[in-house]
Chains A and B, each alone.
Chain A
């Protein structure tokens, strides 16, 4: 069982690598749309990456209104 902090850290690392952003520039409470410079289609890409990595299924309606990495991590953690 992954801890919430480890899940958050892995999300930040994955997002940084996928969107080619320096990992150290991303912080947990940051708006990921702005931090990563992504639109809705790229958000779906990120969702797919995370689902594949954590081997979970996260319905995209659960992401409605989610904008920061910490809340995203909590959504994933709840399905691990």
Chain B
């Protein structure tokens, strides 16, 4: 399927470049529906891959790339399943989303995340599956999960550690602070910082350059340099599921979901 128009995302293959666009209001929160459509995309990727050399992930929403997991849905699960049973449900969900993230991470295509605005939590984790990050200068990155009593659950910690090192992970994770694109480039996370509204254009230019290279060689280079940290990813799921059953998580989610605070996105 060269084109798809879903409720949360769409994709299109043109001139050897697949563009996966997120478009779920208000900020591409990753829900069960998003996960289902991401699974459809990954299933279609094998068929598309033969005609493509690059994949670009981006958002069509002005507010940003992705705010992460749909916390309202997560809070609803806890209320529906209870604090003990929710761990079983969360594990099934995380197994599915890890499968998607691992497929994107290990895709033989060269992958680029073109990000702007809010790139938080699960949205940051989605971007981290890509080989290159191109960031609008207004992009901000954050792992806010600790304020909810959780750790990132979509593979973010092992991937960031793989790409940058443990000290950066500790800074982001343990402070819950966000940082901008310039800082992200300084620490080696982002390969290009571009002007406002220019990330997708720059990503397309980069993807076009990649068409010049032999696909087998590019895929072999990627496999060599970008191993999937399977063991740590498994451990991340275990820790997340141990944490989610605690009353503190329900309380943190309740506070966020019911917040009328003007600063719920600030740590």
A 8-67 contacts with B by CB, 8 A: 33, 39-41, 43-45, 47-49, 51-52, 57, 59-61, 63-64
B178 is an interface residue with CB less than 8 A from chain A: yes
What is the total number of residues of chain B having a CB less than 8 Å from a CB of chain A? 24
Chain A residues with Cβ below 8 Å from B60 are none
B165 is an interface residue with CB less than 8 A from chain A: no
Chain A residues with Cβ below 8 Å from B182 are 51-52
Q: Mark B153-180, 1 if CB is under 8 A from A, else 0.
A: 0000000000000000000000111111
Asked whether B262 lies within 8 Å of A52 as measured between CB atoms, the reply is no
Q: With A40-B266, A64-B263 given, is the CB distance from A45 to B138 under 8 Å?
A: yes
Asked whether A41 lies within 8 Å of B267 as measured between CB atoms, the reply is no
B58 is an interface residue with CB less than 8 A from chain A: no
Main secondary structure of the interface of B (DSSP, over half): loop
Asked whether B177 lies within 8 Å of A59 as measured between CB atoms, the reply is yes
What size tier do the contact residues of chain A reach?
10 to 19
What's the Cα separation between A39 and B263 when bound, in Å? 7
B 227-266 contacts with A by CB, 8 A: 261-266
B 181-212 contacts with A by CB, 8 A: 182-183
Asked whether B137 lies within 8 Å of A64 as measured between CB atoms, the reply is no
Asked whether B138 lies within 8 Å of A40 as measured between CB atoms, the reply is no
Q: Which of B137, B179, B266: most chain A Cβ within 10 A?
A: B266
Asked whether B137 lies within 8 Å of A33 as measured between CB atoms, the reply is no
A48: min CB distance to chain B, Å: 5
Asked whether A48 lies within 8 Å of B262 as measured between CB atoms, the reply is no
Asked whether A44 lies within 8 Å of B183 as measured between CB atoms, the reply is no
- Chain A residues close to B by CB (< 8 Å): 33, 39-41, 43-45, 47-49, 51-52, 57, 59-61, 63-64
- Chain B residues close to A by CB (< 8 Å): 27, 63-64, 117-118, 137-140, 175-180, 182-183, 261-267
Given contacts A51-B180, A60-B267, 5 further A-B contacts (CB under 8 A): A40-B261, A41-B265, A44-B178, A44-B265, A64-B263
**Could you write out 5 A-B pairs with CB less than 8 Å apart?**
A41-B117, A48-B140, A49-B138, A51-B180, A60-B266
Q: Which 7 A-B pairs have the closest CB atoms?
A: A40-B265, A59-B177, A40-B263, A61-B267, A33-B262, A48-B180, A60-B266
